Structure 1
Amino acid sequence: MELRGKQKRFLRSEAHHLKPIFQIGKGGLNDAMIHQIGEALEKRELIKVTLLQNTDEVPEEVATVLEKQLACQVVQIIGKILVVYKPSSKEKFQNISTQVRGI
C-alpha cells in the first residue's frame, strides 16, 4: 500500500515524540538487525532508526535496504534519523494502521 501525503504527514506527527529504538553503528546494517527491526515493526508499526556518527552507512541506502527486505515504508529521513512504518499483521497491534486507513 502506497501512502498518500496526508497519511505520511500523520505518521510524521505521530513519530515526532518517539525516541530511536535502533542505532546503526560501525558494524553497519546486518541481517540480525534487519530481523530485529522487522519484529519491532510488527509490534509497534512505527519506529525511528538512527545512524551513529561512526557508521559508513548512508541513510538513503539503509532506507532502500529496509524497504526491500521488510516491505515497509520509510516515511521520513532527517539527517541520520529514519522514520519507518509497516502495518502490523496481528490485529491486537494495529493501533496506528487503523488510524492511517481512516485518513
Structure 2
Amino acid sequence: MKLSNKQKQFLKGLAHPMKPIVQLGSNGLTEGVVAEIDSALNHHELIKVKVPSDDREEKSLIMDAIVRETNAHKLQVIGHTLIIYRPGEDCKIQLPK
C-alpha cells in the first residue's frame, strides 16, 4: 500500500499530540522491542517510537530496521522520535482518499 502525500499529512496531524509508545533502552533494538512495536502497531496502527542515540548513523539504521521488521510506513522523524503507521485488519483510522 502506497500512501499519498495527503494521507501522510493527515496521519502526521493525528500523531502530533501523541506521546511515544515504545522507547528503546540501552540494549538497543532487540527481538523483544520489535515484538512490542509490532503489538503496538496492531493495537494502535499509528505510533511514535523513541530512539535515544547520539550517533546519527546508528539512529538512522535502527529506525530503518524498525520499519523493515514491522512492515510499517515511515511517516516522519523528529529528533529521536520515529512516527510509523501500519493499517490493521479492522482499519481504526480512516484515511482520506
TM-score bucket (shorter structure): 0.7 to 0.9
In structure 1, C-alpha distance between the alignment counterparts of 2:55 and 2:39, rounded to whole Å: 23
Q: Check if 1:95 corresponds to 2:86.
A: no
In structure 1, C-alpha distance between the alignment counterparts of 2:8 and 2:71, rounded to whole Å: 16
Q: Check if 1:3 corresponds to 2:3.
A: yes
Q: Structure 1's 66 and 30: CA in aligned 2 closer, same or farther, altered over 3 A?
A: same
| Per-residue deviation, 1:59 | 3.2
Q: Is the 8 A contact 1:51 1:57 kept in 2?
A: no
| Per-residue deviation, 1:85 | 0.4
1:70 aligns with 70
SS of the residue corresponding to residue 20 of structure 2 reads coil
| Per-residue deviation, 1:55 | 8.2
In structure 1, C-alpha distance between the alignment counterparts of 2:64 and 2:92, rounded to whole Å: 25
In structure 1, C-alpha distance between the alignment counterparts of 2:60 and 2:51, rounded to whole Å: 11
In structure 2, C-alpha distance between the alignment counterparts of 1:53 and 1:72, rounded to whole Å: 21
In structure 1, C-alpha distance between the alignment counterparts of 2:34 and 2:41, rounded to whole Å: 10
Instruction: Give the paired residue count.
Output: 97
SS of the residue corresponding to residue 75 of structure 1 reads strand
Aligned sequence identity (%):
34
In structure 2, C-alpha distance between the alignment counterparts of 1:12 and 1:74, rounded to whole Å: 11
1:48 aligns with 48
Q: Check if 1:30 corresponds to 2:27.
A: no
Residue identity opposite 1:59 in structure 2: K
Q: Structure 1's 56 and 10: CA in aligned 2 closer, same or farther, altered over 3 A?
A: closer
Q: Is the 8 A contact 1:28 1:57 kept in 2?
A: no
SS of the residue corresponding to residue 76 of structure 1 reads strand
Residue identity opposite 2:92 in structure 1: N
SS of the residue corresponding to residue 64 of structure 1 reads helix
In structure 2, C-alpha distance between the alignment counterparts of 1:38 and 1:55, rounded to whole Å: 25
